[in-house]
Amino acid sequence: MKIPPVKGTRDFYPLDMARRNWIIDGWKRVSLRNGFEEYDGPIFEYLKMFQLKSGDEIAEQLFSLTDRGGRELALRPEITPTMARMMNQQINSLPKPIKWFSVPRLFRAERPQRGRLREFFQWNVDIIGVDDVLADAEIIFTTIDYLSSVGLTPRDIRVKISNRKLLASALTNIGIPEKQLYSLYALLDKYNRIPPDVFEKTLAEQVPDSAPAKKIVDFMNTTTLSEVPEIVGKDPEVDTAMQELASLKDLLEQMGVWQFCDFYPSIVRGLAYYTGVVFEVHAVGGELRAVGGGGRYDNLLQDFGGPSIAATGMGMGDCVLGILLEERNLIPEDLSTQQLDYFIASADKKYFPKVIEITAKLRRTGKAANFAYKPTGLSKQLKQASVQGAKKCIIIGSEIESGKLVVKDMATGEQKTTELDNLLK
Amino acid sequence: MKIPPVKGTRDFYPLDMARRNWIIDGWKRVSLRNGFEEYDGPIFEYLKMFQLKSGDEIAEQLFSLTDRGGRELALRPEITPTMARMMNQQINSLPKPIKWFSVPRLFRAERPQRGRLREFFQWNVDIIGVDDVLADAEIIFTTIDYLSSVGLTPRDIRVKISNRKLLASALTNIGIPEKQLYSLYALLDKYNRIPPDVFEKTLAEQVPDSAPAKKIVDFMNTTTLSEVPEIVGKDPEVDTAMQELASLKDLLEQMGVWQFCDFYPSIVRGLAYYTGVVFEVHAVGGELRAVGGGGRYDNLLQDFGGPSIAATGMGMGDCVLGILLEERNLIPEDLSTQQLDYFIASADKKYFPKVIEITAKLRRTGKAANFAYKPTGLSKQLKQASVQGAKKCIIIGSEIESGKLVVKDMATGEQKTTELDNLLK
């Protein structure tokens, strides 16, 4: 009986796994050097937790399940609600500021397409308790620190930065009622992903008057920050948003990464919970979705029953990133699935028990070692050593009677005789 | 709105995460040094895949879900079916023997109890394509290699070994029809976990005659291999099974780990798919469930639509293991959630931009570095450096005007002045 895998999921054969580990290890290394601590939560939570704040697009894509007690659960589509829940549970004992990272496996019941799978990994970094654009800058720096560490340059990727406060002010000044803002964010977030006529038609449904609708389109088309006050009108909220963005630029310059960044007023982010600086990382050229994105979400912990506390963070999935790194030839070609220090061969079948004994001893001293299950001819064993990428091959022959063996360097071909005891030290 | 976590799942706060990483990194390190390559599959598969061969206990505990297309899926309760599916897909191109390991996250919808959660991690090692007890020996060696690498001794754990062929012969010779064997295995597997009177009552339902029922109980009570033929009768199957166990012992002696092992004829393993050597690792004393277990399953790939090919493997969960390691004080106390090379402090607020610049530069050279978001007094910053476990603290003061700074060793308290350029090299 042959059963296929489920569409939108991935099988990680050893080489795929090496690639996945390479990406995830990079995320972890950069998180740690930027001072973040790792955490994780369960794969499933109560369904209602994700319906609370995730935004319509994510809530529609939940994989839900019911347990034997009739509880409605869901596979996590993002980790931020879990993080908020966990922090709220221990908010008084956790030293502030909190800098946490995670690489959760996430699930979205959407139609699989290029760069979008139903099961994927997402790097998350978050800073809680810093009510200062410096934390937003550090989140953006950490994001760029990873992307540049794998070889992406300002010519490959752009970090497009805006402030949710700008958009909120723009829409409010135009006369959009507050309760309509969230559904409009969801539409505006799709601005660059849907055809212009579809966008304008959908916008007309939400904003029937043509004057405010035109202002919204003008705002979405701006790529110069200084033009924004002209379009949206001047007010204290707009001033604050503009000042935050100016400080953010200064900080990113001090950090030496501004050359990766642009202001981009039309950046929205689909999630309902953002409150301040927002950003997305896009590949230059091509049709890829955002590589990652994030922003400030100062109300989220409170929304989940905790205190009012400042928060900012970023998420980056492995699917779009993987495609981008492949396109730019940035995935190392020599990723290996095995790193054998030794392959242990026998010059004669009768030494096979010695092969087993010495392999076991080497492993217990911490060396990676392998051997052939069938004591075949030596040249066949040497070939197997080479296929498995062993650094050295130990050949056990008559010398073993006096506690010696031959060690062959697989790169140089050089052979020398060594004492077994020295090898095991 | 406060939403609790789901019962039987775990939140991994940074210290819990450090502990989880310590266990999983150990599993990975030992797998690699024993020559295994890492793989993984999806978290969910078609429901029917797990109903096929997992044995009743697991099939009853599936978390099932339905996707938007009405497909019946399940969260994986074990990874072996996925492995069989993946291997069958590429069986012709994978070089044999195949030595694979994985550390999947698994799910069972059972009632949470000590050592049994609804979500857990399980180390799996498998060798495919070796029709020789040597592969079973290597699986058992690898299991013990990990357990002894974390400090468990033969006085802490015992590997209890039997052969499914012995049990099959015993039951067949007693007159149990073949179609009844699997349901009987499931009962016998619980022999040491349910009260004797409950066991005998349930056994009487399956085997009403008292003579064969008594023989079964005698067999389950044997702890001496040599007594087995007397109880179950002599036949070629029993001989083969006995010979396999004798060879296994020889090999485990050559590997230097037999002192951890005992023959234990009553070891059954619940899963339906075992065909030869089976084993379980148990803690000495106490009431813990098996730490891990496994065995030979030569028919599984064929059952999943692939070729007939020899296979043997082992699984070990993180829950019982975690409890055991805690009980024996074997979890390192100094597991850290952060490893900062530097904490960057300023002697005066006016150097704060320099703090930001130098922190960013150090991080980009690969050093783990952190700083205080608010430029407070120096002693407060030094305290923060110490709380975060920084190895060194860099103090930026007036020397920076000439490109110099003070580096304080946090362990010795020693301070010296260094060129910034040297630090960034």
Cβ-based neighbours of B197, under 8 Å, separated by 6 or more:
none
Token reading at B38:
């890492």
Nearest by CB to residue A35, choosing from B148, B356, B368, is B368
pLDDT given at position A82: 96
Does a structural domain hold residue B334?
A: no
User: Do A266 and A254 contact (CB within 8 A), yes or no?
Assistant: no
Q: Longest C-alpha distance within chain A, in Å?
A: 95
| B189 falls within a domain | yes
Whether B273 and B408 map to the same domain: the answer is: no
CA distance B273 to B295: 9
- 3-state SS, chain A, equals CCCCCCCCCCCECHHHHHHHHHHHHHHHHHHHHCCCEECECCCEEEHHHHHHHCCHHHHHCCCEEECCCCCEEEECCCCHHHHHHHHHHCCCCCCCCEEEEECCEEECCCCCECCECCEEEEEEEEEECCCCHHHHHHHHHHHHHHHHHCCCCCCCEEEEEEEHHHHHHHHHHHCCCHHHHHHHHHHHHCCCCCCHHHHHHHHHHHCCCHHHHHHHHHHHHCCCHHHHHHHHCCCHHHHHHHHHHHHHHHHHHHCCCHHHEEECCCCCCCCCCCCCEEEEEEECCCCCCCCEEEEECCCHHHHCCCCCCCEEEEEEEHHHHHHHHHHCCCCCCCCCCCCCCEEEEECCHHHHHHHHHHHHHHHHCCCCEEECCCCCCHHHHHHHHHHCCCCEEEEECHHHHHCEEEEEECCCCCEEEEEHHHHHC
Contact B105 A43 (CB under 8 A): yes
Specify whether A195 is located in the same domain as A218. yes
- In terms of DSSP bridges, do strands A64-66 and B105-107 run parallel, antiparallel, or are they unpaired? unpaired
Mean pLDDT for each 10-residue chunk of chain B (425 residues)?
89 97 98 97 94 73 88 94 95 94 95 92 98 97 98 97 90 87 85 87 91 88 85 86 96 97 88 88 89 95 94 97 96 90 95 96 96 91 93 96 95 95 91
Q: Distance from B66 to chain A by nearest Cα, in Å?
A: 8
Residues B365 and B353: their CA atoms lie apart, in Å, by 19
B23 shares its domain with B82: yes
Chain A nearest CA to B42, separation (Å): 6
Q: Which of A327, A356, A388 is the last residue of a domain?
A: A327
**CA nearest B79 in A: which residue?**
A11
Amino acid at site B330: L
CB pairs under 8 A between A and B: 237
pLDDT tens, N- to C-terminus, chain A (425 residues): 678 999 999 999 999 999 999 999 999 999 999 999 999 999 999 999 998 776 667 778 899 998 888 899 999 999 999 999 999 999 999 989 999 999 999 999 988 988 899 999 999 999 999 999 999 999 999 999 999 999 999 999 999 999 999 888 888 888 888 888 888 888 888 888 889 889 989 999 989 998 889 888 888 888 888 888 888 888 888 899 999 999 999 999 999 999 999 999 888 887 678 999 999 999 998 788 899 999 999 999 999 999 999 999 999 999 999 999 999 999 999 898 888 999 999 999 999 999 999 999 999 999 999 999 987 899 999 999 999 999 999 999 999 999 999 999 999 999 999 999 999 98
B312, part of any domain: yes
B214 and B143 in a common domain: yes
Strand-pair partners of A280? A160, A293
Min Cα–Cα distance to chain A from B224, Å: 27
Q: At what angle do helices A164-174 and A236-254 cross, to 10 degrees?
A: 160
Domain boundary among A296, A327, A358: A327
Range of the domain at B384: 342-423
Same domain, A243 and A362: no
Which CATH number is B210's domain given? 3.30.930.10
pLDDT at B1: 67
What is the CATH classification number for the domain harbouring A360? Answer: 3.40.50.800
Q: Which two tokens stand for residue B304?
A: 């999943």
Residues of A in contact with B19 (CB under 8 A): none
What is the model's pLDDT at position A190?
A: 85
Q: Are strands B37-38 and B98-102 parallel, antiparallel or unpaired?
A: parallel
Cβ–Cβ under 8 Å, residues A108 and A58 = yes
Asked if A107's CB is within 8 angstroms of B105's CB, the reply is no
Whether A368 and B32 lie within 8 Å, measured CB to CB: yes
CA distance B22 to chain A (A): 13
| Partner-chain contact B132 A68, CB within 8 Å | no
Total number of domains constituting chain B? 2
CA distance B419 to B7: 55
Residues of chain B with C-beta less than 8 angstroms from the C-beta of A145: 363-364
Same-domain status, A178 and A265: yes
Cα–Cα dist B118/B61, whole Å = 9
Peptide bond connecting A97 to the previous residue in cis, omega within 30 degrees of 0: yes
Domain co-membership, B163 together with B306: yes
Name the residue in chain B with its Cα closest to that of A388.
Answer: B35
Q: Which residues, 6 or more positions from A152, have their beta carbon under 8 angstroms from its beta carbon? A: A324, A325, A328, A330
Is the CB of B3 less than 8 angstroms away from the CB of A340?
no
Q: How are strands ordered across the β-sheet holding B404-409?
A: B369-371, B342-346, B392-396, B404-409, B415-419
Q: Across the interface, do A33 and B363 touch by the CB < 8 Å criterion?
A: yes
> Does residue A221 fall inside a structural domain?
yes
Query: What pLDDT is recorded for position A56?
Result: 66
Nearest chain B residue to A364 by CA distance is: B145
Is residue A4 situated within a structural domain?
no
Same domain, B304 and B375: no
Q: Are residues B156 and B222 in the same domain?
A: yes
Q: Is residue A295 part of a domain?
A: yes
- Tell whether A1 is covered by a domain: no
pLDDT at position B173: 87
Q: Which of A327, A355, A372 is where one domain is finished?
A: A327
Residues A319 and A369 in one domain: no
* Chain B nearest-CA residue for A74: B65
Query: Is the residue at B6 inside a domain?
Result: no
Q: Do both A241 and A352 map to the same domain? A: no
Q: Are residues B360 and B286 in the same domain?
A: no
